Amino acid sequence: MEWNKENGDRRKEPRYEICIEAEVITPGASITAAAKNISGGGMEIQLPKAINPYTSLTITLQLHEKFVFQGIVVWALGDYINKQWIYRTGIKTDTISFKGGKAVTTQEKRELVLSILPRIRAMGVSETLIATKAA
């Protein structure tokens, strides 16, 4: 689903559906996750473990180069699917670092996400990523 103000979505940035493996680093753990949607303002990830709101974290997407998203958890929801818990987690992105520099402003982050979106989608993984990693 793409962003749509008519359906009551209050986000400032459009979200783009993706499904790619991400490495999440929190103060206490390193977790493999699936990035499910992305925008210049943040992303939704799914994890086999819960991360509390207000937790600072780093998310790495490995494309042709590493893209490192620094941010904070703004919401988290647990879903019990196929006899296991999957935790959907909303991240507000503060910065995105990459080999050529860093995107800090809303405009820079938006432009960077739009420029890498085709590569992210081309590398998309199975919807069963989390179930496989959690098992």
Domain boundaries of the chain, sorted by first residue = 5-123
- pTM for the whole thing? 0.84
Q: Is the pLDDT of residue 128 over 70?
A: no
Between the CA atoms of 43, 44, 49 and 52, what dihedral angle is there, to the nearest 10 degrees? Answer: 70
Grouping H, G, I as helix, E, B as strand and the rest as coil, residue 100 is coil
For tokens 């992105």, the residue is 93
H-helix or E-strand spanning residue 65: none
Question: At residue 77, does pLDDT exceed 60?
Answer: yes
Q: Determine whether domain 5-123 maps to CATH 3.40.720.10.
A: no
Helix (H) or strand (E) holding 45: strand 42-47
User: pLDDT tens, 17-67?
Assistant: 999 999 999 999 999 999 999 999 999 999 999 999 999 999 999 998 999
C-alpha dist (Å) from residue 37 to 29, 40, 124: 22, 11, 11
Beta partners for residue 26, in sequence order: 29
Q: What is the torsional sign of CA 71, 95, 3, 18? A: negative
Q: How many CB atoms lie within 10 A of CB 21?
A: 18
Q: Which helix (H) or strand (E) holds 10?
A: none
- Among the residue ranges 56-60, 67-71, 78-82, the one predicted with the least confidence is 78-82
Structure tokens at 62: 């490995």
Q: When comparing pLDDT for 13 and 133, which is higher? A: 13
Asked if 102 and 95 touch (Cβ cutoff 8 Å), the reply is yes
